[in-house]
Amino acid sequence: MSRPPPPFSPQNPTPAPNPGGPASTLPASFSNLQISRAPPPSASAGPPLGDGPVPSSIRGPQAPPPGARPFPGSPPPPLQPGSLFARPAAPVQQSPPFGGPPAASPQQRSPFNGPPSVLPPQVQRAPFGGPPGASQARPFGGPPAAVSQPAPFGGSSVATAQSAPYSAAPPPPFGGPPGAVPPQAYSGGPIPPFGAAPAPLQQGPYGGPPQFGGQRPGLQPPPFGAQTAPASQPPPFMGVPGANAPAFGPPGWQGQARPGGVRMPGGMPPNALGHGMPSTPTMPYSPHAGAQVSTPSNIDPNQIPRPIAETSVIIFETRQGGQAAVPPAASSEFIVKDTGNCSPRLMRCTLNQIPCTGDLLTTSAMPLALMVQPFALPHPSEEAIQLVDFGEMGPVRCSRCKAYINPFMRFVDQGKIFICNLCGFSNDTPREYLCNLGPDGRRRDADDRPELCRGTVEFIATKEFLVREPMPAVYFFLVDVSMNAVQTGVTAASCSAISQVLSDLPEGPRTMVGIATFDSTIHFYSLKNARQQPLMFIVPDIQDVYTPLQMDLILPVSECRDSLEQLLESIPSMFENNRVADSAFGAAMKAGFLAMKPTGGKLLVFQSVLPSVGTGSLSARETEARSNISTGDKEAHKLLQPVDKTLKTMALEFAEYQVCVDVFLATQSYTDIASISVVPSTTGGRVYYYFPFSAVSDPAKLFNDLRWNITKPQGFEAVMRVRCSQGLQVQDYSGNFCKRVPTDIDLPAIDSDKTIMVTFKHDDKFQENTECGFQCALLYTTVYGQRRIRVINISLPCTSTLNNLFRYADQEAQFTYVVKQAANGIPSSSLSQVRDQVISTCINILQSYRKHCASVSSSGQLILPEALKLLPLYTLALIKSIGLRNDGRVDDRSYWVSAVSSVSVLLAIPLVFPRMIALHDLTSRDDEDSLIPNPLTLNSENIQDDGIYLLENGEDGFIYVGNAVNPATLEQIFGFSSLAGAPNLLALEQFDHALSRKVNEVVNEIRRQRCSYLRLRLCRKGDPSGDFFRSLLVEDKAPGGLSYVEFLVHVHRQIQSKMT
């Protein structure tokens, strides 16, 4: 079948060296990328992209066309930043940035036409009500699209009588601001293709005055529900969908859409492993103690459970026949038809049937938790979330528990009374909301009201939800200009990235910006007068920080953009000869906060060294931490904790005033992420980590990360609460937030990448054949200042049968729970204790199933529940991961913990169980229907000396090159025929050869799927990089660890021991 064009130009040129410049000089090939600007919003502008749903009519969904389409809201295609300071020649009609206001007709509520009867139409719709596509979209450099998990790894699993069709499905490519095409040519020279490396500063080592360039074509959104462009036209990928932008995700719908959702299967026979496996006494085991276990001769490594790739698209109805349907695997490609329960992308439970009692849950040894991702990116064929305006009355709520009206509230007494599905209280129906009931007991208007027939809906918040006027969208940049930052190129790369993302800010009077730089002092800049050079104000007091008086530090971007661009031009050269090595990181953050305190907003900090002076200064602990961990010191975990409470106290104050902090750590040394990460994790932000920072390859990733940070769907000053039916209560929340009261969590910012884990415990019993409801309510402010309430509902059946708990368990959600619990335990327990706890969790679950549910009585069999058959493999991968292995840098482990805290279900598994594919034979593939070939099993049997392999975990890509690779193959892929002198960090270039094009297509597709600009590292056989690559092959026996087969034997023996 024909494949649509690549997601963006597959060219990813290797930056040319600059032998005459210092270390911080950016390569010359980083120049000439045109930068486009967004238009200011107009009175007639339509709803902003990323602001969530908009009121619109619901059309009957149609079958998806065969061509792949981008997922609204997904990250843009990976784009290399262009020349730092190129200005557009002339304004044009421009498309808004993703998250920006489209030029459209005024918002008007259109009638809600009831639930769809078939698959939604393939509408080129931007996420959350953004405008559909247009003729041409702008270049977009946000992290490549989609948050999809890698295609499950192939391999035969143990035969089972009933293998759920969704139990091992492939990854769905979904999400991401649709892509774009390059802007019009300009006089400054040729435009590098998408994927090109960032531009260097043309004059001088740290930023001469290169020029901005490029204009953004205008877009006019079609009406909601309009059909997409024909399949022959490349679908959009970035920003606002555009007709000529490349498609997101796989090159086409893989196979035929499967009609209907996946219903709860009937019986599920056990998964028997190793029939006749010898029964042996329990042996002590530590995954890093080098325990030796002989492999039984009757276990075929090719028959043990592994993820199985599936290529068909699943049409998933969330409720069928009045009952909840079991959701497809998060890693599969599915299209949700909301028929009462929310999309599993937004909220997924570890158990799809709820135990009636706490004792039953305890017996199962499984967790009961929700993974809540309120802004998860939708599939393009799914209908938009509906926006409901109740006017001054506000949304209808239960007067006792304050739950919002939802499809599971029951109306009685001719509609005059509604009974809350969570607390059971009978409420009087407001007069304005009265409606007669039909013969089926439902309101006659139920199908016309989104809140009564959809699992997810948004309400416009009334004045009672406003404690102040909705905050503006404020972005304040803090740039490290210390000697190390300047000399390594961090300052130049940061200024370049900021300059180029200014065009992606949601322009308008409510979008404001500010900037400061810091070394051992803090430097503020006045941007008010565009006709003069920006004025610098130095704050030398870094113990008791203040901001300059009588100075406009934060201004609307429309008023200060020219001044800000001039300033960013001059900062690298201004500090070119800076010899101040100290960094007042904490004091700079406090100063930025004081400037933002009246408004709140996002504080984006670019840091390169360990904070050494002023408030929140830190000391190097890496040497002590590394030696203590490697020698097994029981106190070593304390070095993974914050050094003191200074930064935590500061972060709590930031969160109180709705300031979210994102930290971009571009460094070549230890920076104590354990302490620094406290600030972003408390304020709803995150840490971006570039180690070791390379001025050749990393500016592209820095730029893409910053652009996606600004443009992805998000909300400000949010408050979230999860409610559940009587019989359960919320036990705890886990994620990046601030918690002041037991029931709510505060999120100064929340976006499409953030997931909150909510755990529950029983406080009463449920009756058999009843349902347990869960409701997440998120109050937030859009980037354009509208206060909204997103309400997400799911109702699941209750059961008193242990068999049903295992049959309907969600493997990916449960393992995500295990990963997050392990990450939470790392700072407070030794690594060996955390590993033992992870293994015990796996063994306890499987032992409970073996004891209470398995029908096979032979002690020589390892019995695995069908729904959890990959739990041992994922457990083994987790204990061998960066977070739990003994070797490695302390900062690497701290970053892993920080990343896991808010990771989604979709990305949690590849983070510990990576995907490996062969690159050297891409041109000889037979399965041309998929852009990315089927993954290889993670063992050394698949590694050949004459092969080249890519292993990626969503954050990094490791390219392993055997020692017998044909030099011609090296030349075709990398541009060199020998590994001698090749850099460890690669900037992949495309050459005029089929293999080079294929490799670039695969890498760019992975970047889009992972919402991350994959860093590429070269690994050679025979040196430490090659050894590290092989340590990621989790099925192999590692030094001090077990192979997959050996681990299964160990698990079996432990279960046998517990059974006796």
270-302 pLDDT, tens digit per residue, is: 444 443 333 333 333 333 333 333 344 467 788
Over residues 47-55, the mean pLDDT reads 41
Contact 410, 763 (CB under 8 A): no
Find, among 756, 824, 749, the residue nearest to 781 by Cα: 749
* Residue 214 backbone class (left: φ over 0; alpha: ψ -120 to 50; beta: rest): left
Q: How far apart are CA 815 and CA 875, in angstroms?
A: 8
Would you place residue 777 in the very low, low, confident or very high pLDDT band (cuts 50, 70, 90)?
A: very high
pLDDT at residue 211 is higher than 70: no
What pLDDT sits at residue 858?
64
The tokens describing 353, both together, are 């049937």
613-632 pLDDT, tens digit per residue, is: 999 999 888 665 554 455 45
298-316 pLDDT, tens digit per residue, is: 677 888 999 987 778 899 9
The radius of gyration computed from the CA coordinates of the chain, to the nearest angstrom, equals 28
One-letter identity of residue 373: Q
Would you place residue 639 in the very low, low, confident or very high pLDDT band (cuts 50, 70, 90)?
A: confident
The tokens describing 880, both together, are 């061998």
121 prior amide bond cis, ω within 30? no
Q: Pick 117 or 848 by higher pLDDT.
A: 848
pLDDT at residue 55 is higher than 90: no
pLDDT at residue 896 is higher than 80: yes
The reply to whether 914-1031 shares the fold of 473-711 is: no
Contact 554, 512 (CB under 8 A): yes
What pLDDT sits at residue 507?
77
Contact 905, 227 (CB under 8 A): no
Residue pointed to by tokens 């069999």: 861
Contact 173, 250 (CB under 8 A): yes
What pLDDT sits at residue 532?
72
The domain 914-1031 is placed in CATH, from the list 3.40.140.10, 3.40.20.10, 3.90.1150.10, 3.30.230.10, at 3.40.20.10
Contact 850, 863 (CB under 8 A): yes
Question: Regarding the domain with residue range 473-711, which homologous superfamily does it belong to in the CATH classification?
Answer: von Willebrand factor, type A domain (3.40.50.410)
Q: How far apart are CA 723 and CA 481, in angstroms?
A: 47
What pLDDT sits at residue 11?
33
What pLDDT sits at residue 419?
98
The tokens describing 806, both together, are 């295992």
pLDDT at residue 590 is higher than 90: yes
What pLDDT sits at residue 96?
36
What pLDDT sits at residue 435?
96
Would you place residue 417 in the very low, low, confident or very high pLDDT band (cuts 50, 70, 90)?
A: very high
Find, among 669, 694, 665, 662, the residue nearest to 1016 by Cα: 694
What pLDDT sits at residue 857?
63
Residue pointed to by tokens 């099925």: 1035
pLDDT at residue 839 is higher than 70: yes
User: Nearest 10 degrees: CA dihedral of 646, 650, 655, 661?
Assistant: -100
The tokens describing 1, both together, are 């079948």
Over residues 211-226, the mean pLDDT reads 35
> Strand pairing partners for 337?
317
Contact 465, 395 (CB under 8 A): no
Q: How far apart are CA 1020 and CA 1024, in angstroms?
A: 8
338-356 pLDDT, tens digit per residue, is: 999 999 999 999 999 999 9
What pLDDT sits at residue 485?
97
The DSSP code sequence of 163-206 is --TTTTPPPP---S--B------BTTBPPPPTTPPPPPPSSSTT
Find, among 198, 356, 19, the residue nearest to 699 by Cα: 198
pLDDT at residue 1012 is higher than 70: yes
Over residues 527-556, the mean pLDDT reads 83
Q: Pick 984 or 237 by higher pLDDT.
A: 984
Q: Which of 122-126, 333-337, 498-502, 989-993 has the lowest mean pLDDT?
A: 122-126
How far, in Å, are 24, 490, 492, 896 from residue 20 at the CA level? 11, 18, 17, 37
Find, among 1043, 1054, 1047, the residue nearest to 872 by Cα: 1047
> Strand pairing partners for 687?
663
Q: How far apart are CA 916 and CA 643, in angstroms?
A: 38
Give the distance from CA 467 to its chain's centroid: 31
914-969 pLDDT, tens digit per residue, is: 999 999 988 877 666 678 888 999 999 999 999 999 999 999 999 999 989 999 99
Contact 82, 35 (CB under 8 A): yes
Average per-residue pLDDT in the chain?
77
pLDDT at residue 729 is higher than 60: yes
Q: Which of 77-81, 484-488, 1023-1027 has the lowest mean pLDDT?
A: 77-81
Residue pointed to by tokens 């990116």: 377
How far, in Å, are 734, 815, 920 from residue 752 at the CA level? 17, 21, 35
9-19 pLDDT, tens digit per residue, is: 333 333 333 33
Domain assignments of the chain as residue spans, ordered by start:
1-142+177-248, 473-711, 914-1031
The tokens describing 1029, both together, are 């690559």
451-485 pLDDT, tens digit per residue, is: 999 999 999 999 989 888 999 999 999 999 999 99
Q: How far apart are CA 856 and CA 808, in angstroms?
A: 20
Would you place residue 78 in the very low, low, confident or very high pLDDT band (cuts 50, 70, 90)?
A: low
> Is residue 998 helix, strand or coil?
helix
